[in-house]
Amino acid sequence: MRIAVVEGDITTIAVDAIVNAANQTLLGGGGVDGCIHRKAGPELLTKCMTLGGCRTGDAKITPGYRLPAKYVIHTVGPVWHGGGKGESELLASCYRRSLEVAVENGVKSMAFPGISTGVYRYPKEQACRIALDTTVNFLSEHPKIEKVIFVCFSYGDYAMYKSHVSCVRNPAGSR
Ligand code: AR6
């Protein structure tokens, strides 16, 4: 299986690329974005200042600087407004675009946080389903990506991902 779920801090994961849940400015913020900028060092902000921001649902890549990961793929998730503002399509687009940018840059292993599930308030269960479905579909068409790790920041998130992964593996099951 090319999908794994772990509990932990994404900034410690040694993969080709980690994904950042950024905002449209790409100039840093709180949550996972703040952790990534702190660990990567000030060169990351300097690089991000040259990128001209990023639209919601899109993704852009930078080096990882002092992180164990070689690259950071910055994506901008939707703010949750109740589900009627195209949030699910935009969130799926974040995962798809991040995976596309990874393939374009020869990335073979990557790690995702739960995009939009913190400050942007996307319901975690729905976001988890979109993350897994979009990734599973993408991997079925792109054999060059060898490993995608979903990094959960709490045990509750980890348990939720684990139960959804087993549904993806056994589609005749509870879904
Ligand atoms: N490793 C893994 N997951 C983490 C980490 C970490 N070190 N830190 C937080 N999480 P959020 P968003 C989880 O708020 O909702 C920023 O200010 C966290 O538990 O980081 O997309 C940006 O600049 C949650 O499940 O991102 C934007 O303005 C998930 O990461 C805005 O927040 C995402 O939470 C983006 O909001």
| Bridge partner residues of 149 (DSSP) | 4, 111
Q: How far, in Å, is the centroid of ligand 1 from the Cα of 98?
A: 16
Catalytic one of 33, 58, 133, 157: 33
The predicted pLDDT at position 144 comes to 95
Per-residue pLDDT at 173 exceeds 90 = no
Q: Residue 32: pLDDT above 90?
A: yes
CA distances from 124 to 64, 107, 116, 129 (A): 27, 27, 9, 9
Q: Give the model's confidence band at 46: pLDDT under 50 very low, under 70 low, under 90 confident, else very high.
A: very high
pLDDT of residue 83: 98
Among protein residues, the one whose CA lies closest to atom 18 of ligand 1: 118
Residue 29 has pLDDT above 60, yes or no: yes
Q: Is the pLDDT of residue 126 over 90?
A: yes
pLDDT of 175: 38
**CB distance 115 to 127 below 8 Å:** yes
The helix/strand count (H/E) of the chain reads as: 5, 6
Q: Which residues line ligand 1 (CB under 6 A)?
A: 9-11, 21-23, 29-33, 35, 77, 113-120, 151, 153
The residue that leads in pLDDT, 175 or 5, is 5
pLDDT digits (tens, 9 = 90+) for 69-94: 999 999 999 999 999 999 999 999 99
Q: Among 27, 116, 153, name the best residue to mutate to test ligand 1's pocket (greatest count of ligand atoms within 8 A of Cβ).
A: 153
| DSSP state, residue 144 | T
**For residue 119, how far is its CA from the centre of ligand 1 (angstroms)?**
7
Residue 24 has pLDDT above 70, yes or no: yes
What residue type is 49 in one-letter code?
Answer: M
Domain residue spans of the chain: 3-165
Question: From atom 33 of ligand 1, which residue's Cα is the shortest distance away?
Answer: 118
For 51, other C-beta atoms within 10 Å of its C-beta total 14
State residue 120's pLDDT score. 98
Please tell me the number of Cα atoms within 13 Å of 142 on its side-chain side: 21
**CATH number given to 3-165:** 3.40.220.10
CA quadruple 45, 37, 96, 146: dihedral, nearest 10: 120
Q: What angle do CA 52, 116, 161 make, to 5 degrees?
A: 135
157 part of the active site = no
The predicted pLDDT at position 174 comes to 40
Which residue, by CA, sits nearest to atom 9 of ligand 1?
32
Report the mean per-residue pLDDT for the chain. 96
Which tokens is 171 given?
């589609």
Q: What is the rounded end-to-end Cα distance, in angstroms, of the chain?
A: 19
pLDDT for 172 equals: 57
